[in-house]
């Protein structure tokens, strides 16, 4: 049900912003920023639910807590990079947005090295 609220708010904001761009373009950008803040605040409770799942997983004695923390960091980086690149692209700077995405991918690849190493070690020990 919450998804319908988020979609509804997003569509209403989009219609108002498109209308304002044609009538008074000075108000369109602040409304775009406010709309983004509203939509992000509507999803904050889901983020806390997601993090509580990882907290319960980290208490498991068979799972390494550092790997779970690294996984959360990688997920956060991927979402932040995607959000930032989309915002930069909205400003009409696609080439810079592409470079932000590329830098994010390199950072994720670098951060995932311990996970890949752990996976390879586990696989080799099973053989």
pLDDT by residue (tens digit) across 22-40? 887 788 888 888 888 888 8
Mean per-residue pLDDT, 68-94: 87
Do residues 76 and 18 share a domain? no
Do residues 85 and 33 share a domain? no
Contact 106/78 with Cβ under 8 angstroms? no
Do residues 75 and 98 share a domain? yes
Confidence label for 41 from pLDDT (cuts 50, 70 and 90)? confident
Contact 6/39 with Cβ under 8 angstroms? yes
Domain holding 21, by residue range, is 1-42
pLDDT beyond 70 at 99 = yes
Do residues 107 and 73 share a domain? yes
Do residues 27 and 63 share a domain? no
Rounded to whole angstroms, the Cα distance separating 116 from 15 reads: 45
Between 49 and 9, residue with greater pLDDT = 9
Q: What is the pLDDT of residue 64?
A: 67
Mean per-residue pLDDT, 38-61: 76
Do residues 124 and 99 share a domain? yes
Contact 69/80 with Cβ under 8 angstroms? no
Do residues 16 and 75 share a domain? no
pTM of the model: 0.64
Angle between helical axes of 25-42 and 44-58 (0-180°, round to 10): 30
For 86-116, b/e burial (b = at least 16 CB within 10 A) is eebbeeeeeeebeebbeebeeeeeeeeeeee
Long-range CB pairs of 72-76 (<8 Å, 24+ gap) are 73/111, 74/108, 74/111, 74/112
Do residues 109 and 52 share a domain? yes
Q: Domain count for the chain, please give it.
A: 2
Do residues 34 and 56 share a domain? no
């Amino acid at each position: 049900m919450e998804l319908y609220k988020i979609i509804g708010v997003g569509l209403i904001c989009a219609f108002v912003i498109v209308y304002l761009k044609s009538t008074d373009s000075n108000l369109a950008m602040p409304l775009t920023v406010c709309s983004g803040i509203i939509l992000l605040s509507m999803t904050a409770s889901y983020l806390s639910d997601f993090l509580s799942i990882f907290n319960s997983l980290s208490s498991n004695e068979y799972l390494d807590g550092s790997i779970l923390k690294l996984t959360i960091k990688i997920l956060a980086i991927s979402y932040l990079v995607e959000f930032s690149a989309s915002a930069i692209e909205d400003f009409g700077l696609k080439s810079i947005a592409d470079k932000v995405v590329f830098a994010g991918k390199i950072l994720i690849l670098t951060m995932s090295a311990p996970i890949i190493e752990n996976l390879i070690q586990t696989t080799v020990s099973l053989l």
